[in-house]
A and B are shown apart, each in its own frame.
Chain A
Amino acid sequence: MDLDMNNKNLKDEFENLNKDDPDFSKKCSKLIKDINEGLCTILQLTEQLKGLLVDPVPVNREIGVHVLTMVLEEISHERISVAQINVMCDFYADKLKDHHQIIPATLRGILALLSFNNVPDGQLRKLLDSLFKNVPCQQQQQHDRLNIYKILKKSLENSAAELLEMDMDFVYGVMSAVDGERDPRNLLFLFHWLPIFLRQCNLGHLREEMFEVLACYFPIDFRTPPQDSNSISRSTLASSLSDCLCATPDFAEYCLPLALEKLSSSLHIAKFDSLDILAKGCDIFAVSFYIQHSTDIWSQIQREVLNNNDEELEKMALQTLVTVMRKLSDNPDSIYKPILSDIVDTLKGNLLPNMKLFVPSCKMLHHLCKSSKTAASFVIGEIVPIMINTFHITSTATHQVLLLKKLICFVWIYTEVYQKFEVTENQHLSAVLYLCLKACLHNDDELRVAGFYCISTIIKSLPDDIRKCFYENIRPLLIQEQPNHLRFALWESFKGLAEMHPSEIQNCVLDQIQIKNNDELYWYLQSLSTIIPIETFTQDTLGTYFKYCQSDFETSLVAIHCLRQTLEQYSDVARIQYYVEELQIVCILVDLILRHVDIIDICNIIHKRLLCDISTISKLIVRHQSCKAQILYITKCEEVISVYRNCQSVGLVIIIDGLISCLHKDIKLPSNIVPDLLSVALGSDHDFIVTIANQLLANLLNKNLDDEKLENDLQFIENYLCKNWNANRLDRSVTVLSWTTKALLMRNHSKGAKWTEKLIELLDTHKEAAKGFEIIMKDKCPSLSEESSCNVKLLYRQKFFMEMTTLFLQKKPTKNNLLAVGYLLKEAPRQVFIMQFKKIIKIVLLCLEECEDEEIMFIILDRLCDLIQNDKSLAEEYLQELLSRFIALSTFKSSMNVRIKALEGIQHFTVDYPIYKLLPMKEDVVQRLALCLGDKKRLVRKAAVDARLGWIMLDALT
């Protein structure tokens, strides 16, 4: 189609086309391309469209305007002259008077015209006049209304001056166009644009009308349709509406009464939005309006905070209070102070700590302080003396604590508002600081705890004299036993001061402390451990520990125990690790044991603790060291082994475990200790040593890189077990067997399967073997962890669980087998339990029915309870089966724990399960649970009450 060449009438081309037809847009694109390439001019196009544009049939006129509009939307701006734009504007202004069907295309055309930067003066006004006069906005469709709003927005952006000349006509036009809009999309567009409009235009006598147009949306009550996930939300609409209501200072006289009226309603969102407006208005409305309404605002906010059950609303009300009061603080004191004074006077009456309104009143006072420096000084001056006075005349420590906590908030807020930590210039706050110190020295523990915590939060504000006095008083406390909560509070303040004033702590506390006995030493070292991470103290403090570790035997027992606790607590602090390595502490401690090997008695609980402490300390240090550094321990270890073989002091096994179990895989020990460990594991009388021997054995087998040696070791263990088979101590043999199997399975060794088979064979005849499955499945065994350089293959427990459950499903469900399944379930990882659940549910339920072992019963119920709580959809499928078993077990005679667990399970079903599935069973469950209400055990009754109430309340009216 070439317009220049054949010059034919476009009417024929477009007449029978629908505007949604793909051909239609194709043709339009061609026209646009032709014009852009200069093959045809806009004038020619108009002439050829003439037939359509003046056609008596509205549909055809619509098509004509549509084509023209599409061309205007797309052509490049230099293809159309000012004169042509002028004509177009006239044409479109005229078209607005045309048939309603043509309006949508016309509106789009006008929008396209406005995007040209050279619209002649006067045309815009003509267009808008025609628009306001001829097009009733709210009778158009949603999209056309949006276009009208876009036209208005564009006009204001392009030629504000011209529009301002229109004066009230423009304002009135906009107002009547917008009035009554209901579509959230359009509203959101309007709410974003209107603030700009309101700021630029003088609303004159129309300002109340304009405000009313917007106020009718307040508060926004709108719910997003559930299927529409990323649509407009209520909060976006509400926040943009409040921007509109607070857009111009002119609205102040209407906006504040509106907000106050809605704040007093009972509707939650109305309160929210009103508070939002009150706060937003502070940026724009004149302060005089706020003064005028100050009493109202205050009484409403007070009401919200005092009677409120909603934390979020309370927070918002308090925040608004701060904003409004900050706004009011711009006034001279003569106006501002009386308002403050009114508020403070109202709240003064509520300051008794045993009253319900005490806490909310304090909150309001605190927020009042935050609003300005004047307010802070005023409120503190008025309120703090009263509260201090109340503190002195109150006899209940709990109330004194409450008062102290509220008083200390004033100190925080003061430092925040004044931006400085020095508070002593305010005499009232000085008194608060002394009150804290006094609380620390009080003889009531609760008050002392509060005192110490308060001190730790205001360390930067504490003056010298209080600090000095504090140091004097904490010295004896640091070396005495204190109740836990008091000790932690004390340490918190001690640590805070050590960070802020290290030299004072060193000179006035640490250097002054005299240790008289080992009890004092214990608490002193415990206190020191709180400041070890502080860089200034790390080295010296560790030195102190070390000094006492090398002291006499009794003292070293205490010091070593403290050292262990400290190292455990800070196992990830590199600095501490570095210093303890430097001090070669491991070898020194092992030597200490070797020196005293004759007097060490494993039955003595203190000695046992010492051995364990040294073992743990060794592990904590060795595991972080490099291969090269670890080699040094080999000789030490050999020394211990040879001493052990000489004297057979089993306690040394603990030390050997500490030295060896964290060594790298590549480090080989010269002597073979497998036989020694086996004889301990099967023969020792101390269960504790047996466990260590087993774990160390497993550790060695797991880390052994030499296949031949491993083969020999395994053969040796097998023979040893056969040779020393003792029917009375079968559990010992099972334990060795299980740990060996675990070590192999963990590294995915080919022999693992063979050893597992041994265990299963044993299960057929001996129920003790079931326990072995627990050992194998157990997670988090420190001696077989990656930290001990062991081979831990990914998901080995999951794999073992899958294999074993599949096996047991095929086997006959004998008692022993069910017991083994129980132990497997006990330690099974959550994910794999859920994954396999459908497959194993049958055997699990069978366990619940057949098994008599209380422990297993409890374990299975526990796992099922977890499932009921956290995997509702899965448990829902088996609701009936599970529930009936649980109800049966709620009267299980021989174990109260089983009864409690079963009742808990029954209760969990009442949380978030589809009510229609539960209701048919409700009557029965409630009736059956009535039996449990009279259980002979109180704890069972408690669980029964919870479960029964849960079921009764399922469909109860609330």
Chain B
Amino acid sequence: MELENINPHVYKKISDRPILPEEEDNDVEDEFDSREIFDLIRTINDPEHPLTLEELHVVENSLIDVDNQNNTIKVLYTPTIPHCSMATLIGLSIRVKLLRCLPSRFKVHVEINPGTHASEHAVNKQLADKERVAAALENTHLIKVINQCIVNKVS
């Protein structure tokens, strides 16, 4: 299989989140924040390269928005090239990972960072369509690829 983008930029991983004293105190409640969501999706592997979405800057901390009161989370992601055919697959991987890792009270929106992909609206529509996502996850080949992306290689 020929790679679409053979020599992408590789960015440095950010350091692990430092553990604050209040996070170790059982009596303080820690709210969900964008960094926590970022930590969940940064380790997802790119379908093409042996690199994580973080290293390719497909997902970034600043593009995640968490609203604890209204229980919504919005994740924007940036495909490495505007014609990336893997964009939907990456979006699905992010969705599935968050579906498995977040409490059900949250409604999650995964969308392409505006202006970074040729067929942005089509992909966004697909990702927002519950039925189509569910149907996609029934596809054994597709779920296999998604699982490969989600699985933590080194944990």
Q: Which A residues have a C-beta under 8 Å from some C-beta of B?
A: 306-307, 309, 350, 354-358, 398, 894-896, 930, 933-934, 936-939, 941-942, 945-946, 948-949, 952-953, 956-958
Indicate if the CB atoms of B101 and A945 lie closer than 8 Å. Answer: yes
B24 within 8 A of A: yes
Which residue of the partner chain, among B7, B8, B29, B147, contacts A958 with CB atoms under 8 Å? B147
Q: Give CA–CA (A930, B140) in the complex, Å.
A: 24
The 9 tightest CB contacts between A and B, nearest first, are A934-B103, A938-B30, A936-B29, A957-B144, A945-B101, A933-B103, A896-B26, A357-B7, A958-B147
Indicate if the CB atoms of A894 and B26 lie closer than 8 Å. Answer: yes
Indicate if the CB atoms of A930 and B10 lie closer than 8 Å. Answer: no
Indicate if the CB atoms of A354 and B11 lie closer than 8 Å. Answer: yes
Q: Give CA–CA (A190, B141) in the complex, Å.
A: 44
Q: How far is the CB of B68 from chain A (nearest CB, A)?
A: 11
Q: Give CA–CA (A957, B30) in the complex, Å.
A: 34
Chain B residue with the shortest CB-CB distance to A953: B151
Q: Give CA–CA (A448, B112) in the complex, Å.
A: 39
Which residue of the partner chain, among B51, B150, B155, contacts A946 with CB atoms under 8 Å? B155
Q: How far is the CB of A268 from chain B (nearest CB, A)?
A: 15
Chain B residue with the shortest CB-CB distance to A308: B50
Q: Which B residues have a C-beta under 8 Å from some C-beta of A?
A: 3, 6-12, 19, 23-24, 26, 29-30, 36, 39-40, 49-51, 100-105, 140, 143-144, 147-148, 150-152, 155
Indicate if the CB atoms of A937 and B140 lie closer than 8 Å. Answer: no
Indicate if the CB atoms of A356 and B11 lie closer than 8 Å. Answer: no
Which residue of the partner chain, among A309, A936, A938, A948, contacts B101 with CB atoms under 8 Å? A948
Which residue of the partner chain, among A309, A939, A941, A945, contacts B24 with CB atoms under 8 Å? A939
Indicate if the CB atoms of A953 and B155 lie closer than 8 Å. Answer: no
Indicate if the CB atoms of A939 and B19 lie closer than 8 Å. Answer: yes
Q: A309-B50, A939-B24, A957-B147 are in contact. Are A948 and B10 (CB under 8 A)?
A: no
Indicate if the CB atoms of B101 and A949 lie closer than 8 Å. Answer: yes
Indicate if the CB atoms of A937 and B36 lie closer than 8 Å. Answer: no
Chain B residue with the shortest CB-CB distance to A932: B103
12 more A-B contacts (CB under 8 A) besides A307-B6, A896-B24, A939-B19?
A307-B3, A309-B50, A354-B9, A356-B49, A896-B26, A934-B103, A939-B23, A939-B24, A942-B39, A945-B40, A945-B101, A949-B152
Q: Give CA–CA (A398, B150) in the complex, Å.
A: 28
Residues of the A chain whose Cβ atoms lie less than 8 Å from the Cβ of B155 = 946
Residues of the B chain whose Cβ atoms lie less than 8 Å from the Cβ of A937 = 23, 26, 29-30
Indicate if the CB atoms of B144 and A958 lie closer than 8 Å. Answer: yes
Residues of the A chain whose Cβ atoms lie less than 8 Å from the Cβ of B9 = 354-356
Chain B residue with the shortest CB-CB distance to A854: B26
Indicate if the CB atoms of B101 and A933 lie closer than 8 Å. Answer: yes
Residues of the B chain whose Cβ atoms lie less than 8 Å from the Cβ of A354 = 9-11
Residues of the B chain whose Cβ atoms lie less than 8 Å from the Cβ of A930 = 103-104
Chain A residue with the shortest CB-CB distance to B1: A266
Q: How far is the CB of B14 from chain A (nearest CB, A)?
A: 12
Q: Give CA–CA (A945, B150) in the complex, Å.
A: 12
Indicate if the CB atoms of B30 and A958 lie closer than 8 Å. Answer: no
Q: Give CA–CA (A948, B19) in the complex, Å.
A: 22
Q: How far is the CB of A421 from chain B (nearest CB, A)?
A: 34
Residues of the B chain whose Cβ atoms lie less than 8 Å from the Cβ of A956 = 143, 147
Indicate if the CB atoms of B143 and A957 lie closer than 8 Å. Answer: yes
Which residue of the partner chain, among A356, A934, A942, A953, contacts B7 with CB atoms under 8 Å? A356
Residues of the A chain whose Cβ atoms lie less than 8 Å from the Cβ of B30 = 936-938, 941
Indicate if the CB atoms of A895 and B103 lie closer than 8 Å. Answer: no
Chain B residue with the shortest CB-CB distance to A934: B103
Q: Give CA–CA (A851, B142) in the complex, Å.
A: 48
Q: How far is the CB of A351 from chain B (nearest CB, A)?
A: 11
Q: Give CA–CA (A918, B134) in the complex, Å.
A: 26
Chain B residue with the shortest CB-CB distance to A355: B7
Q: Give CA–CA (A561, B89) in the complex, Å.
A: 59
Chain A residue with the shortest CB-CB distance to B8: A356
Chain A residue with the shortest CB-CB distance to B142: A957
**Sample of 27 A–B contacts (CB below 8 Å):** A350-B7, A355-B8, A355-B10, A356-B8, A357-B6, A894-B26, A895-B26, A896-B26, A933-B101, A933-B103, A934-B103, A936-B29, A937-B26, A937-B30, A938-B23, A938-B30, A939-B23, A941-B36, A942-B39, A945-B40, A946-B155, A948-B100, A948-B101, A949-B100, A956-B147, A958-B147, A958-B151
Q: Give CA–CA (A356, B8) in the complex, Å.
A: 6
Chain B residue with the shortest CB-CB distance to A398: B12
Q: How far is the CB of A893 from chain B (nearest CB, A)?
A: 8
Q: How far is the CB of A349 from chain B (nearest CB, A)?
A: 8
Q: Counting chain B CB atoms within 10 Å of each CB, which of A398, A946, A956 scores highest?
A: A956
Residues of the A chain whose Cβ atoms lie less than 8 Å from the Cβ of B104 = 930
Q: A309-B50, A948-B100 are in contact. Are A356 and B10 (CB under 8 A)?
A: yes
Q: How far is the CB of A313 from chain B (nearest CB, A)?
A: 13
Chain B residue with the shortest CB-CB distance to A949: B100
Residues of the A chain whose Cβ atoms lie less than 8 Å from the Cβ of B143 = 956-957
Q: How far is the CB of B48 from chain A (nearest CB, A)?
A: 10
Q: How far is the CB of A329 from chain B (nearest CB, A)?
A: 29
Q: How far is the CB of A610 from chain B (nearest CB, A)?
A: 30
Chain B residue with the shortest CB-CB distance to A894: B26
Chain A residue with the shortest CB-CB distance to B96: A952
Q: How far is the CB of A398 from chain B (nearest CB, A)?
A: 5
Q: Give CA–CA (A894, B25) in the complex, Å.
A: 10
Chain B residue with the shortest CB-CB distance to A907: B155
Q: How far is the CB of B23 from chain A (nearest CB, A)?
A: 6
Indicate if the CB atoms of A958 and B23 lie closer than 8 Å. Answer: no
Q: Give CA–CA (A890, B113) in the complex, Å.
A: 37
Q: How far is the CB of A767 from chain B (nearest CB, A)?
A: 22
Chain B residue with the shortest CB-CB distance to A396: B12
Q: Give CA–CA (A58, B3) in the complex, Å.
A: 68
Q: Give CA–CA (A355, B8) in the complex, Å.
A: 6
Residues of the B chain whose Cβ atoms lie less than 8 Å from the Cβ of A355 = 7-10
Chain B residue with the shortest CB-CB distance to A350: B7
Residues of the A chain whose Cβ atoms lie less than 8 Å from the Cβ of B102 = 933
Q: How far is the CB of B80 from chain A (nearest CB, A)?
A: 10
Q: Give CA–CA (A804, B34) in the complex, Å.
A: 51
Chain B residue with the shortest CB-CB distance to A941: B36
Q: How far is the CB of A459 from chain B (nearest CB, A)?
A: 29
Residues of the A chain whose Cβ atoms lie less than 8 Å from the Cβ of B19 = 939
Residues of the A chain whose Cβ atoms lie less than 8 Å from the Cβ of B8 = 355-356
Residues of the B chain whose Cβ atoms lie less than 8 Å from the Cβ of A953 = 147, 150-151
Indicate if the CB atoms of B147 and A938 lie closer than 8 Å. Answer: no
Q: Counting chain A CB atoms within 10 Å of each CB, which of B40, B50, B103 scores highest?
A: B103
Q: Give CA–CA (A896, B151) in the complex, Å.
A: 26
Q: Give CA–CA (A476, B40) in the complex, Å.
A: 45
Chain B residue with the shortest CB-CB distance to A942: B39
Residues of the A chain whose Cβ atoms lie less than 8 Å from the Cβ of B147 = 953, 956-958
Q: How far is the CB of B34 from chain A (nearest CB, A)?
A: 13
Chain B residue with the shortest CB-CB distance to A361: B7
Q: Give CA–CA (A938, B22) in the complex, Å.
A: 10
Indicate if the CB atoms of B12 and A958 lie closer than 8 Å. Answer: no
Q: A350-B7, A355-B7, A356-B10 are in contact. Are A934 and B101 (CB under 8 A)?
A: no
Chain A residue with the shortest CB-CB distance to B141: A957
Indicate if the CB atoms of A957 and B23 lie closer than 8 Å. Answer: no
Q: Give CA–CA (A945, B9) in the complex, Å.
A: 30
Q: How far is the CB of B20 from chain A (nearest CB, A)?
A: 9
Chain A residue with the shortest CB-CB distance to B5: A356
Residues of the B chain whose Cβ atoms lie less than 8 Å from the Cβ of A938 = 23, 30, 36
Q: How far is the CB of A395 from chain B (nearest CB, A)?
A: 14
Chain A residue with the shortest CB-CB distance to B2: A307
Chain A residue with the shortest CB-CB distance to B39: A942
Q: Give CA–CA (A953, B149) in the complex, Å.
A: 12
Indicate if the CB atoms of A934 and B105 lie closer than 8 Å. Answer: yes
Q: Counting chain A CB atoms within 10 Å of each CB, which of B3, B10, B105, B143 scores highest?
A: B10
Chain B residue with the shortest CB-CB distance to A892: B26
Q: How far is the CB of B77 from chain A (nearest CB, A)?
A: 18
Residues of the A chain whose Cβ atoms lie less than 8 Å from the Cβ of B144 = 957-958
Q: Counting chain A CB atoms within 10 Å of each CB, which of B39, B101, B144 scores highest?
A: B101
Residues of the A chain whose Cβ atoms lie less than 8 Å from the Cβ of B29 = 936-937
Residues of the B chain whose Cβ atoms lie less than 8 Å from the Cβ of A309 = 50
Q: Give CA–CA (A952, B29) in the complex, Å.
A: 27
Q: Give CA–CA (A113, B78) in the complex, Å.
A: 79
